[in-house]
Structure 1
Amino acid sequence: MDIFAFPPLALLLDGAYTALLSLSHLLEPFAGAAAAALAVVLVTLLVRTCLIPVGVSQAKAEQMRARLAPRMRELQQKHGKDRERLQRETMALYRDEKASPFAGCLPLLVQAAVVGILYTLFLRPEIAGHANALLSHDLFGAPLGTSLLGAIGTGIDAATVIVWAVALLIIVVIADITRRVFPAQVPDEGPLAVPGMESTMNALHYLTAVFAVFVPLAAALYLVVTVTWTLVQRALLRRRYPLPA
């Protein structure tokens, strides 16, 4: 079933296609063949700029969770055997603190939606009944509409290898810096307090690089820009909203 056959989603996809293609045409005098790739980067920066207030809320939520951690441990020690009572007490604690346990989830949802749209735009041969002109664009010779696995399957050239190698290297380096600067916080008690959990949570930083292999290069560019932005923004906000000692 094609979910983009549903009229509202088809209209959304066509609008995104028109906007991205128009931006690419505006950038062609400056970027040439890389205009569509630059358009993806600019769209990513626009999305991330719009999400700055949500990023601030996310930093505040992280600070709040760290501040409430000792009280959460007390609740787990007191009501650990009664899951329903523990859940009620936990929600009451967040309510008393005027906080939400789901604060900071919006950036993940928005980014997933944007990646999904970019993935679709550079995957479908037709958009709203007309040929997809975005598929003719590339970045230094690497097609924007082809994933790394797809390129390997159909025959990969040197230009594509270099572009993908640089993109994946940036994602992995950013993931490693993030892992070192913001190590996983594993609770002392509770269902997550199991051997190896810290290593597992740290390994999750590298999943973006794995995911990037399966998406078109355009979506991988979005991931490159957004992981870099996220690291810089998180570092700045951590200075503004430091975690309690």
Structure 2
Amino acid sequence: MPSFLEAPVAGAYHVLTALVSSLQPLTGAYAAVIAIVVCTVVVRLCLVPLSVRAQRGMKARAALMPQLKQLTERHRDNPERLQREVAKLQSESGTSLFAGFLPMFAQLPFFWLMYTLFSHPTVAGEANRLISGSLLGAPLGVHWPVFSGTPAFLVLAVLLTVVAFFSARLQLRQLDETATPMSRRIARLLPFGTLLSAAFLPLAAGLYLLTTTAWTVAERTVLLR
């Protein structure tokens, strides 16, 4: 690990282990699991302003779609002119085509920290106490659920599937009438990518994915109303 990354990893490790220690009298062996969920919820709460901005950006983008379609048809043979016109339209409307991705990009550092903390036997110069936690008999640092021999990954997979189903429905609702069949197919299948990710990540990172995707579904449902 590069030296400039050691400080944030060590800081996150000490915060998480302190939280685990405080939760242990109440939650026992599941203290690390609860700590992951709590930390994820705290991060998502901090990102609520970005989520609100992203939702507004997506609504503004949907309103711009007819004009974007006209510009594309008008300047399809002049990509440079099309790029300038699209940029001008975004500037005048005060929105961005990438506004909807803000919460996802903002979560990447936290996801990287979670993966790092549960993928190394030593952190901050000491034995990693976090990977001693478990869920339904599976250590939180375990990869490859096929060989785990516990129901933890099956439960996680079922819950991720349920969340992905509702996430896909929400994404399809947000597509406008100009969306292509390919776009609709991608929107329908993309949320289920969390299942594939969970198969190659530590169980702790899978818990993070479950918590954050469930939060996203609930948050979008509220914002859409």
TM-score when normalising by structure 2 = 0.93
In percent, how many aligned pairs have the same letter?
36
CA distance in 2, matches of 1:232, 1:106: 17
* Post-superposition CA distance 1:71-93 (Å, at most 9, x none): 11110111111111111000000
* Post-superposition CA distance 1:190-210 (Å, at most 9, x none): xx84x6442233211111111
> Is 2:69 the partner of 1:73?
yes
- Of the three residues 130, 138, 141, the one matched with 1:134 is 130
Pairing of 1:150-189 with structure 2 (within 5 A): 151-153=145-147, 156-157=148-149, 160=150, 162-183=151-172, 185=175, 188=178
> Is 2:2 the partner of 1:5?
yes
Post-superposition offset of 1:116: 1.2
- Match of residue 243 from structure 1: none
Structure 2, unaligned runs of 5 or more: none
Contact 1:137–1:144 (CA under 8 A) maintained in structure 2: yes
CA distance in 2, matches of 1:74, 1:208: 36
- Match of residue 238 from structure 1: 224
Match of 2:142, SS?
coil
- Match of residue 199 from structure 1: 185
Q: 1:70 is matched by which residue type in structure 2?
A: P
Post-superposition offset of 1:214: 0.8
- Match of residue 32 from structure 1: 28
Contact 2:168–2:190 (CA under 8 A) maintained in structure 1: no
Contact 2:156–2:206 (CA under 8 A) maintained in structure 1: yes
Match of 1:81, SS?
coil
CA distance in 1, matches of 2:182, 2:153: 32
Post-superposition offset of 1:182: 2.9
Q: 1:22 is matched by which residue type in structure 2?
A: A
CA distance in 1, matches of 2:193, 2:118: 22
- Match of residue 206 from structure 2: 220
Post-superposition offset of 1:141: 1.5
Contact 2:47–2:103 (CA under 8 A) maintained in structure 1: yes
Post-superposition offset of 1:186: 7.0
Moved more, 44-53 or 131-140: 131-140
- Match of residue 53 from structure 2: 57
Post-superposition offset of 1:60: 0.0
Q: 1:204 is matched by which residue type in structure 2?
A: L
* Post-superposition CA distance 1:208-237 (Å, at most 9, x none): 111111111111111111111100100110
Pairing of 1:89-168 with structure 2 (within 5 A): 89-147=85-143, 149=144, 151-153=145-147, 156-157=148-149, 160=150, 162-168=151-157
Aligned length, in residue pairs: 224
Match of 2:99, SS?
coil
Contact 2:33–2:134 (CA under 8 A) maintained in structure 1: yes
CA distance in 2, matches of 1:165, 1:59: 33
TM-score when normalising by structure 1 = 0.86
